[in-house]
Amino acid sequence: MKLLFLLLIVFPTLSFSQSKIESERKVNPLPLYTNPEFVGGPKALKEYIVQNFKINRIDKKRHTKGEIIVKFYIETDGSISKATIINKGLSDKLNKEALRVISEMPKWKPATQSGKVVKIMSAYTISVN
């Protein structure tokens, strides 16, 4: 009888401790994340922008200088969407040109999170000197 009583007291404690340990093991680690990548890397991205961004005659004559920061999304298929200017930008024509160049970029290698392809926001600064 004493043995049965002792088992009834000790057994629930052991099973509770074991389930607590099992639940601690089930905690998921932080997700593994990879950044999106322009095919060819950052150097190829800069080259693409330099080759495709055209400054109109008026802005050339005015020696317009500054930066245009463009925010955009890299979709799960690597395409670009929702490009917008997030700073004041420069002239209307240069801002439109920046949006055109970013929107027409070739597909990127998309970002991943825990092995799954995900949509992500990014930004690029176009400097006009």
Going residue by residue through the chain, which has 129 residues, state the pLDDT in tens, using 9 for 90 and above.
554 444 445 445 544 445 555 555 666 667 789 999 999 999 999 999 999 999 999 999 999 999 999 999 999 999 999 999 999 999 999 999 999 999 999 999 999 999 999 999 999 999 998
Domains and CATH numbers, the chain: 33-128 (3.30.1150.10)
**Smallest Cα–Cα separation from 110: which of 71, 76, 72?**
76
The H or E element that residue 7 is part of is helix 2-25
Cα distance between residue 92 and residue 102, in whole Å = 16
